[in-house]
Structure 1
Amino acid sequence: MMKETIIIDEMMQKLMSNQLTPGEKLPSENELAEKYDVPRMTVRKALTKLEERGYVYTKKGKGRYVQDKSGQIQLHLTGKESFTDKMLASGYDLRTENVFCQKEPKSSRMYKRLHADVNTAVYKISRVRYIDGAPIAIHHSFLSESVFPKIGVDGPNLTSLFAYYRDKGYQDFTSTQALLSVVFPTLEEQQQLACNNMTPLIMVESDCVDQVSDKVLEYTKIVYRSDKFKYDITMK
């Protein structure tokens, strides 16, 4: 394990200092095994971990190459625009697929988050976001029937919730809290985002509040593939 960690650390240093450039072919497993005086299996495990983290990729029958990070999507994590508006304004080919709409159990903490009466229903709506046909994020939105009486009917067909809010008369939005954390994907998320269990995800949790009425319109959990984005946290 110690030798494996040394290989990973040295390769990472070369990647971060641009001693290894995008598209460059890495030395073979045999060459690295000889260099570090370790079994070939140790090298393979180290390279596999670098590949799982998105730093290298394999060309079948040709070897491993340095991944190009220049194509990462710049995403501003703050601000009042919806994800859809941000992506379309930046010229990306965005597609959204609604994959889930179901009532939350009465014990769900989302009732408290939404200030919802337990006699009404809270719905969870999940959407997978695609850029250029590749899945890059999952948006989980929680809404209450007390604010949107027809959400149980409308929910399965929604792709842009900000557009839905505007259609219902809400125009100006704010957030009272936003939390960011790093998580690893569940099996379902691995399938939806076409990633492995070692791909870190950035999770952003926040509420959406109507500035006029001060109503909490939704609580959102968004998971982004960390290897697909550059995150802009500049305050605007």
Structure 2
Amino acid sequence: MHTIDKPALAVSPYLAIADILQKEIDNGQYLSGEPLPSEADLSRRFKVNRYTIRHSLDFMNKKGIIRSQQGKGHYVCEKPMDIQYTITQAMCFTDVMTQLGCKPSAKVLKSEVKPPPERIAKLLKMAPDEKGIRLEILRYADGIPLAWNETWLPEAYFPHFPEQTDAFTSLYALLREDYEVELARIWSTFEAIYPNSAEATHLKMSPSTTLLHIESVMRDQNQRLIEYTSAKYRGDLCRVSIQFEKS
């Protein structure tokens, strides 16, 4: 039986406990529809107070891993999502989610104009004194937070970029409709990483659950380098495949 070890205590105890319970569910120790042990039993097992256990169970409930039934306890849910995200030259998040039958949505956490880091300026071939538009975007599928994006666009190509993005749904739709820009992927890289505290909070996930980090550069129909994006997808909910063009 798992207990909280010293490395796990590097994160909040309630997150460490939630992570252990989730792994046990994933390994089949608790099956769909079965109850979890009571708060009192979990409190004795992990040697923490019932408030901490309640916090762990509430966190798992919000993630859709378990469900609570008043007066009866907590039960294992079906896995909330199993998104197979396909990378193509032109496919975007909104298109993929729509094709999968999910409702896509997005929330802009931050929009600012500033000089980009040197690496991003080089990737987009921006002049040393050129500024970029930086966006932090939280993307959802059926209301569940699925990905955190940091996107850079050269400001010179997008004058009067909307300062208010409350009604933001699709970046590519905005670029297409307001600037007549159609984007195509040049390259993408893939890496498994752990979320920082802000990403774990926004994505409602344990800091010990991996993210799939995809960096991409896009160009437009005039061969201009237009977009750099760092996209971090929840590894517990999302699989990524690559679709090669037919010869």
Q: Which residue of 182, 192, 212 maps to 1:171?
A: 182
Residues of 2 paired with 1:32 and 1:119: CA distance?
Answer: 57
SS at match of 1:109: helix
Q: Distance in 2 between matches of 1:172 and 1:149?
A: 14
Seen in structure 2, the aligned counterparts of structure 1 residues 51 and 224 have a Cα distance that, compared at 3 Å, is: farther
User: Where does residue 131 of structure 2 map in the other structure?
Assistant: 121
Taking a change above 3 Å as real, the CA distance of residues 199 and 51 of structure 1, as seen in their structure-2 partners, is farther
Q: Are 2:68 and 1:75 equivalent residues in the alignment?
A: no
The change in CA–CA distance for 1:170 and 1:105 in structure 2 (over 3 A counts) is closer
1:41 aligns with 2:46: yes
Check whether the contact 2:192–2:210 (CA below 8 A) recurs between aligned residues.
no
> Pick from 166, 185, 190: which aligns with 2:196?
185
Q: Deviations over 1:68-122 (max 9, x none)?
A: 21x3142324112110111122222222222211123454432112111122211
1:170-225: CA deviation from partner (whole Å, max 9, x where unpaired)? 335122232333222323x3443334544433222111123x43321100011223
Within 5 Å, which residues of 2 pair with 1:194-205? Answer: 194-205=204-215
In structure 2, what is the equivalent of residue 233 of structure 1? 241
CA contact (8 A) 1:137 1:225 kept: yes
Which of the numbers 206, 215, 221 marks the counterpart of 2:224?
215
Which digits, 9 at most, give the CA deviation of each residue in 1:118-161, with x for residues without a partner? 22211111222233333322222100023x141x5335435422
Confirm whether residue 160 of structure 1 aligns to residue 148 of structure 2.
no
Per-residue deviation, residues 29-83 of structure 1 (Å, max 9, x unmatched): 77789xxxxx63359999x9899787954737644433421x3142324112110
Alignment match, 1:85:
95
TM-score, structure 2 length as denominator? 0.69
Q: Is the 8 A contact 2:110 2:136 kept in 1?
A: yes
Q: 1:24 to 1:105 in 2, by over 3 A?
A: same
Cα RMSD (Å) of the superposition? 3.9
Tell me the secondary structure at the aligned position of residue 101 of structure 2: coil
Code of the residue aligned with 2:176 in structure 1: it is R
The gaps in structure 2 that reach 5 residues or longer are 6-18
Identity of aligned residues (%): 24
Whole-angstrom distance in 1 between the partners of 2:76 and 2:150: 33
Q: Across the two proteins, how many residue pairs are aligned to each other?
A: 223
Question: Which SS does the other structure have where 1:124 is aligned?
Answer: strand
